[in-house]
Amino acid sequence: MELRSARELRRNEQLARTTAKKAEASAPARKAPARPAADKVTLSRQAVSYLEEQNRRMWQYQQEREQRRQSRLDSELSALDTAKSRLKRMEDELDILNKCQKIAASIMKGNRVPPEDLRYLMEHDQAGYKLAMAMRRHNPDPEDEESALDDEDRNGAVEGSGGGEAPSVEAAGASEGGGNVSASAE
């Protein structure tokens, strides 16, 4: 489809008429075969400016729509990142609680646990530590439990304990399996 303004069409029509008259005058005996006319639309300047305005508005609308879509995607991605970080944090907390539960179960059985495990339990689950100490059984033949901590947890416990603080006398006695130890018995 061909779009032209009215002024251009008038000028072209006049030019076509003059060239047609010249062609008829120079070659009256020979006629050219008729060409099928192409689809043509004539638009005034107002119509052209109106269409250009509509085109600009449509382009602007598409840009705004794309920006809204992009901002919605960005917000969904940030929400997903937030959810992932929250999930990771909850997984870490669950891992810590599982380790604390294993350590507390060993204490309640009356077995000996490593001092770094006791420190880890005191730092991460004070209520669990108190409950395990209160519910520990007397075990005449305590077993030495292996540490429930990873190397990462042991290194973190040593660095996070502020220079290697020793557990209390009661905690040290419990780790040895001795129960209540008085200061004069040492």
Q: pLDDT by residue for the chain (186 residues), tens digit each?
A: 566 667 777 778 888 888 888 877 776 555 556 666 777 777 788 988 999 999 999 999 999 999 999 999 999 999 999 999 999 999 999 999 999 999 999 999 999 999 999 999 999 999 999 999 999 999 888 888 888 888 888 776 445 444 444 444 344 444 444 444 433 333
- Give the pLDDT of residue 16: 85
pLDDT at residue 32, rounded to an integer: 56
- Does 102 map to a domain? yes
- In this prediction, residue 56 carries a pLDDT of 96
Please tell me what DSSP assigns to residue 183: T
Determine the pLDDT at residue 107: 94
The reported pLDDT for the residue numbered 162 is 43
pLDDT at 155: 77
Residue 113, in any domain of the structure: yes
| 92 located within any domain | yes
The domain tally of the chain equals 1
Question: What is the predicted pLDDT for the residue at 17?
Answer: 85
Tell me the residue range of the domain where 165 lies: 88-176
**pTM assigned to the model:** 0.49
What's the CA gap between 178 and 112, in Å, rounded? 9
Q: 45 lies in a domain?
A: no
Let me know if residue 47 belongs to a domain.
Answer: no
Question: Is residue 165 domain-resident?
Answer: yes
157 is a domain residue = yes
DSSP of 53-111: HHHHHHHHHHHHHHHHHHHHHHHHHHHHHHHHHHHHHHHHHHHHHHHHHHHHHHHHHT-
Q: What is the pLDDT of residue 8?
A: 75
Whether 182 is covered by a domain: the verdict is no
Alpha carbons 98 and 96: distance in angstroms, whole number:
5
